[in-house]
Structure 1
Amino acid sequence: MARVAVLSVVVLVGAAGCTPADKKVAAVRSVNGHPTLLIAPCAEADIDSISVYPIGSSERRWWTIDRESGSTPEAVTLLEVPPGWTARTEDLTRLEPGASYGVSAFGSPRHAASVQFTQEALAGLRPDQVLVGEPPSGWRVVSERAFRAEARKDCS
């Protein structure tokens, strides 16, 4: 009986570690005053769905788009549907000042790490800076060069 219990614990611990980590291939910045998701190329995270949603709010408004054709774009202006993509959910139509949002990019076989942001955090970035996902605050400020280097390393 003791062997069964030990084996069960080993199997459970092993199974818990099988979920692959999200790839660090997503960042958010403001481009001409518009929150924009940057996606670094990564064969292991071919992005085919993107969602934006409020954080810490009782509202359940989302903006979700799905790729219909073409390749993963390097940049997506949030709340605008790029060519080759279709809107699945457009309940979220505007980003409010002072509110926190999350953006998640889902792919195959791996997802991109989610990034949280506020309009104020984006407005405070220098032109060469981006926000990347980082618990517990939801973001970390890095240079775009550092983001791309980390993404290349994470995808190799």
Structure 2
Amino acid sequence: MTDSVQLSSQEARNRQVVIDFYRHVFDARNPAAVKDFVAEDYRQHASHVSSGRAGLEAFVAETFHGLPQLPVQPDLMIPPAFIVAEGDMVVIAGEFPQPEPEDPTRTYPFFVFDAYRVRDGKLVEHWSGINKIAPPKPPR
């Protein structure tokens, strides 16, 4: 039996802010759209991105340097494995298959997450499941 949790209207809005942020910024490769979704005092807990809105804009610009901007699509390019909203927090996780170290023709499922705190319709804080871009090593 699956329990169903009803989101408050604020939690539903916070969830949609995160989805729209990904659609307009990352899926569309548009660093200029960061200002529409991120507060100036944005606090970043991922070591590979600087805090503040400008730090995130720079990260997005560097990530998509030389690539054309894309039109905003109605749905996320990579559907989330799950997205959870509770209070002012939203956690989104996605699957990004990685090449097997011993056999690069095969992949294994690699899940990453981002957690955001939302205030007044803007992202104000971020935690990432990745601090270094590297797949996990198997246990010894």
Class of the TM-score when normalised by the shorter of the 2 chains: under 0.3
Normalising by structure 1, we get a TM-score of: 0.25
Q: Which has the higher helix share?
A: 2
Q: Which has the higher strand share?
A: 1
Which structure has the larger Rg? 1
Normalising by structure 2, we get a TM-score of: 0.27
